[in-house]
Amino acid sequence: MTTTFTLPELGENIEMGTVANVLVSPGDSVTKNQSIVEVETDKAVVEVPAPADGTILTVHVKPGDEIRVGDAIIAFDEAGDGASAAPAPAKETPKEEAAPPLATPAEPPAPVEAQGANGGSQPGEYAPTDPTRSVAAAPSIRRFARQIGVELAQVKLPVGQKRLTMDDVKAHARNMNTTSAGSAPRGVAHAADPLPDFSRWGEFHREKMHTIRRRTAERLSTAWATIPHVTQQDKADVTDLEKFRKQYGPRAAAAGGKLTATAILVKTLASALKKFPQFNASADMESLEIIYKHYYNIGVAVDTDRGLLVPVINNVDTKNIVEIAVELNELAERARNHKLTLEQMQGGCITITNLGGIGGTSFTPIVNPPEVAILGVSRSSIEPVYKDGQFVPRTMLPLSLSYDHKIIDGADAARFTRWICEAIEQPFLLFLEG
């Protein structure tokens, strides 16, 4: 039997990706769950497995192609039916339209036709002012619409299309921006000004954003537009901590890790979340509820050649610092080698981003939703500190805590940051309160 295999759902909030590698060719025999293509999403490179045993007849994609959930990948002859004729080439999905996603039982039925503005019926398109209209859309699209302040009932459905796509929501948001008389809708930024003609000043060239960079730009723009950011600055005296790191660094190295300030801060953050549960939370603005988490997973930002990736160390409260150092080293290597899985980048409670290896005295990191805080770390330096009646040289580590002011007040952020500093300066505090 000849079967056309389409791109399945790759994970939550993932609607499309870029083909990184094609692992099969026409005529190849494949077995069920054998990897046939690698797709780079905004978070990781995902291997797509074959759905059954068979022989490849046609490959519909090539490296560099952008594909959406539901787009054709291969046509193959399932084992036991070698007499099937080769299929006709799959019809390509136009770039401006999203392919229909795979059906799921939980999805609502497609809406019925609505009345047009003149009282007649216009199939597949709805008046944007109809608040009672039933909307068919994937959960990830509903979530995205909530984040940017778009009411799905106001989004027009193109003629002949039964479900709203991410592009429909974005187009509606852009239209809201450009037609707004002066104020932007909640959570939606004004459209960017058009770019000038750069050739007036000299030569230039263009490079297409790869998937991770494009998604990072979109996600951070949404985070900045929907989260009222405030950043709390503080400094920790790490003079004694540096002696500790040098003394016990070989023990972590023998286990396969590196005893860095980041590894120690990951453990400290888990204890801080227990002390201050409002930082281990998420805001549900649709139901006006705060979700408090009872697990302690810490995301760590990793700089890679394709942009910033954030692998997550799970259950940090159950691991010692050496175990965290080993896992952190392994995840960082996987990130730089494009081997992170989606599961390794999900479920974080708070994120830490360390720029100390590059430089700088402080910065304002952007919160990674649905988290409510992120801790930035800058380069330590030796400074004069007044202690015991005199100025003495001490190694000071700058910390920058950005937080969601919807959930966290400034006083709580100051207490949280100061507690982290004191826990680094006096590790016994972790045993007392951590």
The two three-digit tokens of residue 116, written as one number: 């047009």
From 210, 229, 338, 405, the catalytic residue: 405
Give the phi and the psi of residue 57 in degrees, each rounded to 5.
-100, -45
Is 405 a catalytic site residue?
yes
Contacts of residue 55, defined as CB under 8 A and 6 or more positions apart, other chains included, come to 27, 28, 29, 30, 76, 77, 79, 82
Using alpha carbons, select from 10, 129, 151 the residue that is nearest to residue 67: 10
- Please give the C-alpha separations between residue 7 and each of 53, 68, 72, 102, 105, in angstroms, as whole numbers: 17, 7, 6, 9, 18
User: Do 406 and 228 form a contact (C-beta atoms < 8 A)?
Assistant: yes
DSSP, residue by residue, 95-125: TTSPPPPPP-TTSPPPPPP-B-TTSSB-TT-
Tokens of 230: 């405030």
In contact, 129 and 154? CB cutoff 8 Å: yes
- Measured in whole angstroms, the distance separating CA 100 from the mean position of its chain's CA atoms is 23
Name the phi and psi angles at 55, rounded to 5.
-120, 135
Q: ∠ at Cα 220 (219, 226), nearest 5°?
A: 90
Number of residues in the chain = 434
Q: DSSP assignment, residue 156?
A: P
Residue type, 364: T
Q: Which residues are catalytic?
A: 405
